[in-house]
């Protein structure tokens, strides 16, 4: 599936550009975006190294275990396939907490670590049920404070910059709920086959 999207986006773009005289822009975009990707990964690396370093201490000090015990009723309902006492529960819980507080920088390393643990539980090139659920919730993205948007609104002279924060929270919560429902529907459809 990802093969098709990847090759499709590029091929459609190049063919369209050939007929519409935008091939120069495409040529430039290939090199500049590759460069941007490296910059992005360098930024991610510093965050990954710091957070996974710190979380290793949190794991060994049983902080993660305590945290996941607190939220176990919810998290184990969402991920029935995962063993209840596994460290993965702690990483999933902390990823959700970081997302809720709008700490995207901290949420990604925790999410990646959770994925790694899930992969070890079910080693395969196929995404497991828990992985799909985890991704669905992460793409819906519950955020408490959308800082970038706030900055934009202030910059353009909004009379009430924080006015959309409550709306954002409501939309986030509803969208996440629907993400979980859709994920469940797809799962049951898959199982019935």
Partner 1 sequence: MEFISMVSMVVIPLFVLIVLAIGTYKKLPTYDLFVEGGKEGLSMAVSLLPHLLGMLVSIAIFRSSGVLDYMIDLFAPILSFVQIPKDIIPLALTKPISGTAALAVTADLIKSFGPDSFIGRLASTMQGSSDTTLYVITVYFGSVGIKKMGDALKVGLLTDLIGIIIAIMIITILFG
* Residue 46 Cβ vs partner 1, minimum distance, rounded to whole Å: 9
* Residue 80 Cβ vs partner 1, minimum distance, rounded to whole Å: 16
Q: Segment near partner 1 (CB under 8 A), from 73-81, 85-93, 134-142? A: 134-142
Q: How far apart are CA 183 and CA 189, in angstroms?
A: 10
Work out whether 65 is an interface residue with partner 1 (CB under 8 A): no
Q: How far apart are CA 182 and CA 193, in angstroms?
A: 17
Q: Which of 159, 191, 192, 193 binds partner 1 (CB under 8 A)?
A: 159
Work out whether 67 is an interface residue with partner 1 (CB under 8 A): no
Q: Which of 160, 188, 192, 193 binds partner 1 (CB under 8 A)?
A: 160
Token match 């091939």: residue?
23
Structure tokens at 40: 């992005």
The contact pattern for partner 1, residues 10-39, with x = CB under 8 A and - = no contact, is x-xxx-xx--x-xx-xx-xxx-xxx-xxx-
* Residue 79 Cβ vs partner 1, minimum distance, rounded to whole Å: 15
* Residue 166 Cβ vs partner 1, minimum distance, rounded to whole Å: 8
R_g of the chain, CA atoms, integer Å: 20
Residue 137: exposed, middle, or buried by beta-carbon count in 10 A (0-12, 13-18, 19+)? buried
Residue 68: closest CA among 104, 108, 102, 117? 117
Work out whether 191 is an interface residue with partner 1 (CB under 8 A): no
Mutual angle of helices 129-140 and 104-121, in 10-degree steps: 170
Please say which residue, 73 or 157, places its beta carbon nearer to partner 1: 157
Q: How far apart are CA 91 and CA 113, in angstroms?
A: 7
Structure tokens at 57: 């201490």
Work out whether 70 is an interface residue with partner 1 (CB under 8 A): no
Work out whether 85 is an interface residue with partner 1 (CB under 8 A): no
* Residue 16 Cβ vs partner 1, minimum distance, rounded to whole Å: 5
């Amino acid at each position: 599936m990802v093969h098709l999207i990847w090759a499709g986006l590029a091929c459609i773009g190049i063919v369209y550009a050939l007929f519409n005289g935008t091939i120069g822009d495409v040529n430039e975009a290939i090199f500049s975006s590759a460069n941007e990707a490296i910059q992005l990964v360098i930024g991610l690396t510093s965050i990954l190294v710091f957070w996974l370093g710190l979380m290793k201490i949190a794991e060994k000090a049983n902080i993660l275990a305590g945290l996941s015990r607190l939220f176990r009723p919810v998290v184990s309902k969402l991920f029935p396939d995962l063993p209840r006492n596994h460290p993965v529960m702690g990483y999933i819980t902390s990823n959700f907490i970081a997302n809720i507080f709008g700490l995207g920088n901290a949420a990604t390393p925790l999410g990646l670590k959770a994925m790694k643990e899930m992969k070890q539980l079910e080693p395969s090139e196929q995404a497991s049920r828990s992985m799909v659920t985890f991704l669905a919730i992460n793409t819906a993205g519950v955020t408490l404070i959308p800082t970038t948007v706030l900055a934009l609104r202030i910059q353009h002279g909004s009379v009430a910059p924080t006015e959309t924060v409550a709306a954002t929270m409501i939309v986030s919560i509803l969208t996440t709920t629907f993400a979980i429902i859709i994920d469940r529907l797809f799962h049951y459809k898959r199982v019935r086959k």
